[in-house]
Amino acid sequence: MEIISHEKPPGLFARMWLYLKSLPEKSKANVVEVVNKVIKLGKDDPRRITHSIKVGLALTMVSIFYYYQPLYDNFGVSAMWAVMTVVVVFEFSVGATLGKGLNRGLATLVAGGLGVGAHHLASLSGEIGEPILLGFFVFIQAAASTFIRFFPTIKARYDYGLLIFILTFSLISVSGFRDDEILELAHKRLSTVIIGGSACIIISILICPVWAGQDLHNLIATNLEKLGKFLEGFGNEYFKTLEDGESSNKDEKSFMQEYKSALNSKSREESLANFARWEPGHGRFQFRHPWQRYLKIGNLTRQCAYRIDALNGYLNTEIQAAPEIKSKIQEACTEMSLESGRALKELTLAIKKTSQQPITSADTHIKNAKSAAKNLNTLLKSGIWEDCDLLTVVPVATVASLLIDVVNCTEKVAESAYELASAANFESIDSAVSTEKPRSGQCGAEKSNADCPHVVITVSELTPAAAMADRSLKA
Amino acid sequence: MEIISHEKPPGLFARMWLYLKSLPEKSKANVVEVVNKVIKLGKDDPRRITHSIKVGLALTMVSIFYYYQPLYDNFGVSAMWAVMTVVVVFEFSVGATLGKGLNRGLATLVAGGLGVGAHHLASLSGEIGEPILLGFFVFIQAAASTFIRFFPTIKARYDYGLLIFILTFSLISVSGFRDDEILELAHKRLSTVIIGGSACIIISILICPVWAGQDLHNLIATNLEKLGKFLEGFGNEYFKTLEDGESSNKDEKSFMQEYKSALNSKSREESLANFARWEPGHGRFQFRHPWQRYLKIGNLTRQCAYRIDALNGYLNTEIQAAPEIKSKIQEACTEMSLESGRALKELTLAIKKTSQQPITSADTHIKNAKSAAKNLNTLLKSGIWEDCDLLTVVPVATVASLLIDVVNCTEKVAESAYELASAANFESIDSAVSTEKPRSGQCGAEKSNADCPHVVITVSELTPAAAMADRSLKA
């Protein structure tokens, strides 16, 4: 085949041959790529592999049950409902599985009862009236249930239940069997659904359980940590870039990546909180753990992340403010950024360890950040910049202002973390110490600072922006 | 019952009587509340009512089909698959219904074939080997399919198909029938699924269709419009607050509400785009309409919304910058805000009307916004603020800086809207005019402005923040 490498353009046959020759290589490359993707997917979260095995196990168990003749004779075709239940109900987390299982079981029970009633009613109305009445019943319940599914609160928690309600009611009411047969059908369907659902729930809880509550807990903590990382690095990054040039570009990009995932985690947080409500007590979480408070922290975290996104715009851009201006506020800004970053990391620790102690350390860091803001305040008042071109001051002033916003946001996050810690009974260091120092509600943004000796200045004297964040959250 | 209103505390009997007396009133109030909620839900989107009726209709049709004896004799118990298919497949939009229907049909076909094969294979291996082999097959396919469902691209489009694949394969392979019976079962299941699926798709398309593509189109346009509204109002609102005091508070709150919905619309946009891919051509959209470009505009809109969220923090706060400082930059800032708002509104119009003309008007507005930014630039350079306290300048400078960011974001949105207009063949005013003035790609943020006579200055000279937005989007 050396001919082809000459200048002459290759003919059709030669091209086909080349294509065929490259085929095994190409498909090998494709296979390698897919295998790499599979490995990455498994490595990113090994629970995915366990989950797949658990589903296989549950399904095999129930299938064998379906297959064996003695059992089959007992339940008949209805036994397949057990298989269906497993396939449809088994979800990744225990909460989702429990929610779906209970929804399915309850909806089957209620719809089965109503379906039998509807069927009986219709059968009383004679041969002509029966199909008309049955059709009418099915239409009314399907339309009504479908409409109810649009209610946001019902959609979040009982959507699947309503689906199964429509399904079971229609199946049972129009099944065309005699009354005694229909009761048997309803009974069989219910028992097989319970068998399938129980298999899912038992396997889901006993073998390497995946708790949605734990995931929500970790997600909230991780998002806070990511913001903390950004803030800890931001001061150095912003004030160093001119000296170090492009060298720090790579690090900065990894910061960007990390905090960005916090910007769009709202829907994930909400669905995890919905699943977590179904879960029994596990590990450090009790049955009625205050999951809603996590959502509040999540919302405040996002408020902070929006400010950080704006800050991020001032990092590593080609045009920078003059270094002499930057150097004047460097200390105060770096301190503010670093201390709020540390505060967020302490809050992360508090959530991760379910301990109140790091919240106290976070308070200290917030206090430091605030006194840095006060220093900045004094610095600005002293008029040290009067000889500078105002044009070059604007970007630096914006960064300072956004940082002050971030400090305020951090304080709000700390406040809501404290509320969570109280509501969820995080372990306190020493109850005597914790009662000595009242915190929740008294040191909030809208409250007087007189009760809180650790709050040195009101940052909002300088920038009132973050005060809006709270209001807008409630809106 | 006048006794109770005397000073004496009412006894148990009296309290019970009061409770019973108030019961009808209370339940009446509850009923009124629920009815009001239902009316609001229907009024917010009347298509919900149509959808509910459509589901009822489809289900009644298929149920009657299941009920009638001659048809029932033909399909037997399998006829219930048609009812199930309708309940499970009928979704709100045509795209979602088509996607689920095709997924279900195809998965049933493939899994049915493989299930028959697996059953046949297993039956060859003798009485002891059969259940073991069957269990093994079920386990392997369930675990593998469950794992595949974790791939993000597959989860977005074929999640339901894989679910049905697991279901059908398990049901058919372990059904315990003889080979000829199993072929009949597979055939019946497939035909009934096709009947149910077709009923859904036909009713979904023929009766008041809800197109996910149209919804995505409108969502993107509405989000842009909301940002535009905020920006149009922001200048006046920010510079007026001191004079008018609290009176404008209400208006400001409605602005806040509106742009905020754009902050968290990412997941909704993505699911709509996924549904839209399944939809045939409808109205102004062809089969392969560039839905992905809408997502790009959506992402840029959110970038802009984050800046606006930061700006919003400076509205109507108790502590304001001194009016003499504000008045100096009022004109330039109001102009920037107003013109970017107008540009966004023109882009909204361009998308809503699928016409290229408003994009040209948007260009003019962006040009105006940029020259306002240039004026601000000159103003800052002229040093008119040198006698002011720098402390009071910081909030105003931040607002100015954020507004410049917003202008840059707006330009990027215009750029991506132009790309959409080209890719989707929006109607151009006059092809001669549009070829005269090259735009796409040549006036981008990273390109030279030499080719674009309408770009007067590079705003990024002043604030380079928005340049990052683009980079971070790609990350």
pLDDT in tens, A301-358: 998 998 888 888 777 665 556 677 777 788 888 888 889 999 999 899 888 888 888 8
Scanning B354-464, the segments in alpha helix (DSSP H) are 357-381, 390-423, 431-436
Distance from CA of A161 to the nearest CA of B (A): 12
The overall longest dimension of chain B from CA atoms, in Å, is: 99
Query: pTM for the complete prediction?
Result: 0.79
Residue-averaged pLDDT of chain B: 78
* Size (chain A), residues: 475
Query: Is the pLDDT at A219 greater than 80, yes or no?
Result: yes
In order, the DSSP letters of A413-453 are HHHHHHHHHHHTTPBPS-HHHHHHS--TTTSSTTS-GGG-T
Query: Is the pLDDT at B113 greater than 50, yes or no?
Result: yes
CB of A36 less than 8 A from some CB of B:
no
| Percentage with pLDDT > 90 across chain B | 21
CA atoms of A415 and A421, how far apart (whole Å): 10
CB of B313 less than 8 A from some CB of A:
yes
In chain A, which residues have their Cβ closer than 8 Å to the Cβ of B385? 390
In chain A, which residues have their Cβ closer than 8 Å to the Cβ of B49? 147
> Residue B67: which of A87, A131, A256 has the nearest Cβ?
A131
pLDDT of residue A97: 93
Look at A73-77, A307-311, A429-433, B224-228 and tell me which has the smallest mean pLDDT. Answer: A429-433
Q: What are phi and psi of A285, to 5 degrees?
A: -105, 130
Higher pLDDT, B460 or A365: A365
Residue B461: closest C-alpha in chain A:
A319
Residue range A376-397: average pLDDT?
A: 71
Distance from CA of B207 to the nearest CA of A (A): 15
CB of B150 less than 8 A from some CB of A:
yes
| B105 alpha carbon, distance to own chain's centre | 27
DSSP B174: T
A34, A119, A139, A261: best to mutate for the B interface, most B CBs within 10 A: A139
Look at B66-75, B155-164, B290-299, B392-401 and tell me which has the smallest mean pLDDT. Answer: B66-75
CB of B119 less than 8 A from some CB of A:
no
CA atoms of B453 and B455, how far apart (whole Å): 6
List pLDDT tens digits, range B438-468. Answer: 344 333 333 333 333 333 333 334 443 433 3
CA atoms of A369 and A405, how far apart (whole Å): 11
CB of B177 less than 8 A from some CB of A:
no
Q: For residue A275, which of A94, A59, A85 has the smallest C-alpha distance?
A: A94
Residue B148: closest C-alpha in chain A:
A38
Angle ∠(A93,A94,A98) on CA atoms, nearest 5: 120
B306, B393, B459: best to mutate for the A interface, most A CBs within 10 A: B306
Q: What are phi and psi of B427, to 5 degrees?
A: -70, 130
pLDDT of residue A71: 63
CB of B50 less than 8 A from some CB of A:
no
Burial A238-258 (b: 16+ CB within 10 A, else e): bbebeeeeeebeeebeebbeb
The hierarchical CATH code for the domain A212-240+255-427 is 1.20.58.220
Copy the structure tokens of residue A233. 């690095």
Look at A427-431, B162-166, B275-279, B416-420 and tell me which has the smallest mean pLDDT. Answer: A427-431
CA atoms of A161 and B306, how far apart (whole Å): 37
List pLDDT tens digits, range A173-192. Answer: 877 666 677 778 778 888 88
> Residue B401: which of A151, A377, A394 has the nearest Cβ?
A394
What is the residue extent of each domain of chain B? 45-206, 212-240+255-427
> Residue B63: which of A170, A266, A309 has the nearest Cβ?
A170
Q: For residue B300, which of B445, B173, B159 has the smallest C-alpha distance?
A: B445
Q: For residue A385, which of B397, B370, B303 has the smallest C-alpha distance?
A: B397
CB of A138 less than 8 A from some CB of B:
yes
CA atoms of B114 and A335, how far apart (whole Å): 65
Distance from CA of B359 to the nearest CA of A (A): 26
> Residue B53: which of A59, A143, A317 has the nearest Cβ?
A143
Query: Is the pLDDT at A432 greater than 60, yes or no?
Result: no
pLDDT of residue B445: 36
pLDDT of residue B395: 77
CA atoms of A419 and B413, how far apart (whole Å): 40
CB of B143 less than 8 A from some CB of A:
yes
From the CB of residue A16, how many other CB atoms can be counted at a distance below 10 Å? 11
Residue A381: closest C-alpha in chain B:
B391
C-beta of residue B204 within 8 angstroms of C-beta of residue A146? no
In chain B, which residues have their Cβ closer than 8 Å to the Cβ of A185? none
Q: Do the Cβ atoms of A80 and B257 come within 8 Å?
A: no
pLDDT of residue B315: 76
CA atoms of A124 and A199, how far apart (whole Å): 39
Q: What is the CA radius of gyration of chain A?
A: 31
ipTM: 0.78
CB of A267 less than 8 A from some CB of B:
yes
Angle ∠(B289,B293,B298) on CA atoms, nearest 5: 130
Copy the structure tokens of residue A79. 């036994």
Copy the structure tokens of residue B1. 């019952």
| Percentage with pLDDT > 70 across chain A | 77
CB contacts < 8 A, A to B, total 293
Look at A32-36, A263-267, B36-40, B123-127 and tell me which has the smallest mean pLDDT. Answer: B123-127
- Residue A211: pLDDT band by 50, 70, 90 thresholds? very high
Q: For residue A102, which of A183, A36, A201 has the smallest C-alpha distance?
A: A201
pLDDT of residue A425: 80
Where does B158-300 show beta strands of DSSP type E? none
Burial B346-379 (b: 16+ CB within 10 A, else e): bbbbbbbebebbbbbbbbebbbbbbbbbbbbbeb
Distance from CA of B264 to the nearest CA of A (A): 7
In order, the DSSP letters of A106-169 are HHHHHHHHHHHHHHHHHHHTHHHHHHHHHHHHHHHHHHHHHHHTTSHHHHHHHHHHHHHHHHHH
